[in-house]
Structure 1
């Protein structure tokens, strides 16, 4: 199988290498001349056999919209586009409907694994028609971790299902990371009692019910910088956590843990939180509690 891959940043470049190792022929295009295989989109299209398969691995939103629009203008009926970025599932349905008018097929695929995917493989969540997914199985098999296909790949449902599954995955990820972070802060607050914070987390890696890959990554980070002295406590969000909460509100599904994790990230961006000032002022008013002067 031979596919075109658009977007050769760190993750896209790793995916190209993983695909090639898995026996999939890949021609990649990126505006960066240092990493691209072809000079432009027409050259990419010309390099592919028909029906053509294009995997777009670019940032969600306007960039994805533009890439799909530009590449679809060069494709033919029966060709297929995969959006492997972190697009919102509602965008998938718009893209699919637009492409269908030209007879171009569309599949969305949520991809997890980050910078470790080249070595460990990627977790894949696909949405689309069964016939299209079946056709793409050699591609998915080359990217996913070794072992049973069900452990690392799922055809989650119709168009949009792959990105919806990835959206919820990221919402859960937010909550898990927040729990680890709060545990770390609590240990730090009890340095009189806990003398080896990295050691505690490392001990949890085997035999405990909380062992996980995120725990392994936390241990790795602590071994590199035990006090996180070189890291500012400012955390961005990619948008998918927000989308998870939005959809939960639309369907009256309570997601308090995920919501709290999102709001904690917002707090991290405030050097002097106005809401915490209000809480301090209220505590002084009703209880006479002391406040710290700025």
Structure 2
């Protein structure tokens, strides 16, 4: 299937998507995920840590707060700038480098731990990205991932977007990284052990309308979806998002709290 996909063209479109809006507005709300992943990976002071597809640096900051020597990477340089601002504000020594998750510019076995929170799962060539994570992680080291599941809210949100704006043919959906059996396939040759914990992150907004306003303005995939649709089609997408949000809201009519399932993954490198 992958041989028919023009990954170069697809990646170029993806970079434009993630550079649109300002993911950092959303990303900062997800900080707790990076903290929990750092604990799950049992990061130690002075360990070398690579954050892949780091966005604005949630896992980066979590590792640096634990005394690790951190390199933070993303292929969108403006997101790295936001991470650098955060690290500078906390006086955390972090190295930032623009890099493609499918072609990491580091030698084999360079890092004690390799992390990615809701980042590497969006790479178009999943096999290549997984191989790169494993390549730069030392034997006995850990690969720590946080990946949205297909059944969770974000997985359902992407399914909703796909009904209105179908994804490119032949491309594996990102939420496959949230399927345990798929992870075993991706890391079959490199993992000594794969530990998976199902967790939930709670999206907290005033209302469904507030959530849509924020995501439509700042979150690249939603921002681009609305921009690509003819104006007369946008209300239908908005209504479908409202229905999804309200069906999962556990806060009652006066607020919005929507749990979104994700997999917290710790892979021990063979």
> Greater share of strand residues, 1 or 2?
2
Shorter-chain-normalised TM-score: which range? Answer: 0.3 to 0.5
Based on CA coordinates, which of the two structures has the bigger radius of gyration? 1
